[in-house]
Amino acid sequence: MPQIDVCFVWHMHQPFYKDLVRGEYKLPWTRLHGLKDYYGMVEILGAFPKVHQTFNLVPSLLAQVEDYAAGKADDPFLRLALKPAESLTAADQQFLLRYSFQANVDNLINRYPRYAELYQSRTRPFSTQDFRDLQVLSQLAWFDEFFLTRDPDIAALVAKGREYSPDDQALLGRKQTHVLGEVIPVYRRYAATGQIEISTTPFYHPILPLVCDSNIAGMSNPHVPLPSRFHYPEDAREQLRRARVYMERQTGVAPVGLWPSEGSVSDEALTLAAECGFKWFATDNGVLSRTLGRDAGVVETYRPYLWQHGGHELRSLFRDHYLSDLVGFTYSKMGPEEAADHLISRIVENAGGRDSLVPVILDGENAWEYFPESGREFLRQLYQRLESTPNLQALTVSEALERHSAQPLPGIFPGSWINANFDIWIGFDEDNRAWEYLLRARQTYEKYAHTVPDADREIAYEEILIAEGSDWCWWYGPHHESSNRVEFDQLFRDHLSNVYRLLAQPAPEELSRPILKQSAVEHNIRPASQISPVIDGEVTSYFEWMGAGEYKIDHRQGAMHGGRSGLQMLYYGFSGEALHLRLDFDPMPQPALLEIRIKTKRGEHALRHPDFAVRRIVEASVPLTALNYKPGEILSFQLSCWLDSLPVEALPQNGWLEVETGEPSHWP
């Protein structure tokens, strides 16, 4: 009877949501998936000691989990979930209604009758009790199955169902810290027994071949339009080095296995991995097909290879794309026993009577939202079959590699797990703009890093490494959609802005504007007449801004909670030889930290206090000569607000505001 060894590799990853300068988490997904997936995916193996598996842990994910477990994470989403419902402001309530239902309706929301009731009635006014129940249930729904059933306090909250109290909110906060504190220890414990192997990914999950040399994308797809060349192999090496050092500190053993971010490989990237001490890597069998120059079927896929290049070598696996996608995207629509039977039968059928090594590699967290009870019954059924089928054995990757001879592979085709190219992350206009911004920030770091204190230089470089992560360009371009795309865009630009701030250099105005080609909801009325305001920071009279242009953007469209400038309205107009501006803030920022930049098609002009008057409002007059314009021309301009050298608002988000600077008789 042939021996079939099955290698499951579960990839655990979330983007790095923490702004290092502000110290705040901009999205809650690391915490929520930390409550729901990371612990239980390992702990379930306790009932199946013969099932060995590999977990690929991204260091930047664990660093965030570590932050939460230590109680150091400043998470406004959690802070608002725990805030007394009686104290919620109108903005707080709006925020809760926007974000508290960002969960799978069938398996997370509808599982709790009161949560489903609130979801169905979310368009009507909520009472204080409605909001408190929403605050509790929007968190409780994400707890791991083990804690929902085994922790008496959590089980009691589930049983209570509604009419939650402030004490219940406080309990939920303490339990979240406890659960997140159990995540890293459970991996360390199971790794010590040998039942799991821990592999890793470059620290901040970059597309390593593109960091080494972004022009490599042209080899994978000769037709892709590329940005300016990004060529920093030293950063790629640092991402790999830091990953091994950090994971050894967390687990006690430096990982020998590497799942390159998004399965992205090139000979240069793998050479760096070998030099950093890795012994094996895995990627997709689409890359194997392009490497071999022919379709890689099950015969080619169900065996290990020995990559060799320039005197370096690594053992390698190429995942069965079809089987991996069945688990990730299809089996959630089937019953657990039926799905488990189907997967086992396909593995046996594909092996075709041959000794085989079957690599099943996929996301270990996001898929489970689409399964009832986080897919635990499917996993139990699957693991029972793996233990009871005589010729099947679930092994870690290193265990399996010891049992199978490897076929030499002289070099590898550069590509990722998606279509064996890099088109998801480079080539489209939004992606390329992101790479251009990253390149300019990286060049600025090279130029000015030696001029700032060591602590600032180190954090600036950390922000560069974060901005090299794959997650930002995952959401740029037309391939993927998310209700948080706006937040991802903002966070990417914030990371780059932090680089300039830490280097004591002005951040480019472009970082104040979305890279996303979004359609913002905006209110813009062009000036109707010349104005003559008194520039004193006060609303001197009702009439002084009458006839001015008015611009207002709807901040409900994608604003992150508590993170922007508070700018409510811009009034703008002209008289004599000056552009007049009025900015209404709520709350008013500290004048010493506020900078207003006016960008025209002829240059840029910055206003800093006392260039503007500030009391109840901000008012300023800018001579046309300072903007390189003269009366009679149409002035096209954009305005951005900066606080403490970081961009916080841009008006308009797309296009230009226009002012006629001629005599009133020339006006339409």
Q: Are 617 and 477 spatial neighbours (Cβ–Cβ below 8 Å)?
A: no
Taking the C-alpha atoms of residue 36 and residue 33, their distance in angstroms, rounded to an integer, is 5
Alpha helices (H) along 194-308 = 208-212, 217-220, 233-251, 267-275, 285-292, 298-301
Q: Report the Cα 39 to chain-centroid distance in Å.
A: 21
User: How crowded is the C-beta side of 613, counted as CA atoms within 13 Å?
Assistant: 17
CB-based contacts of 305, cutoff 8 Å, min separation 6:
288, 315, 316, 317, 318, 406, 407, 408, 409
**Stretch(es) of the chain classified as CATH 2.60.40.10:** 522-666
The CA-atom distances, in angstroms, between 654 and each of 79, 494, 521, 634, 657 are 33, 18, 11, 18, 10
pLDDT-based confidence at residue 566 (cuts at 50, 70, 90): confident
pLDDT tens digits for 467-526?
999 999 999 988 887 888 989 999 999 999 999 999 999 999 999 999 998 645 668 899
Taking the C-alpha atoms of residue 493 and residue 640, their distance in angstroms, rounded to an integer, is 14
Task: Report pTM.
Answer: 0.88
pLDDT above 80 for 665: no
pLDDT-based confidence at residue 543 (cuts at 50, 70, 90): confident
Please state which CATH number belongs to domain 1-419.
3.20.110.10
Q: Report pLDDT for 229.
A: 98
Both tokens of 123, joined, read: 């368009």
The CA-atom distances, in angstroms, between 448 and each of 138, 298, 417, 444 are 45, 52, 37, 6
Q: Are 563 and 537 spatial neighbours (Cβ–Cβ below 8 Å)?
A: no
pLDDT above 60 for 192: yes
- For the chain, the average pLDDT equals 93
Residues 418-440 have a mean pLDDT of 97
Which of these, 73, 71, 37, lies nearest to 183 by C-alpha position?
A: 37
Both tokens of 217, joined, read: 């994308």
Taking the C-alpha atoms of residue 598 and residue 621, their distance in angstroms, rounded to an integer, is 12
Q: Report pLDDT for 542.
A: 72
What is the fold of 429-512?
immunoglobulin/albumin-binding domain-like (1.20.1430)
**Stretch(es) of the chain classified as CATH 1.20.1430.10:** 429-512
pLDDT above 60 for 83: yes
pLDDT tens digits for 597-617?
999 999 999 999 999 999 999
**Stretch(es) of the chain classified as CATH 3.20.110.10:** 1-419
Q: Report pLDDT for 217.
A: 98
pLDDT-based confidence at residue 540 (cuts at 50, 70, 90): confident
Question: Domain 522-666 classified CATH 2.60.40.10?
Answer: yes
Residues 159-165 have a mean pLDDT of 98
Taking the C-alpha atoms of residue 551 and residue 655, their distance in angstroms, rounded to an integer, is 13
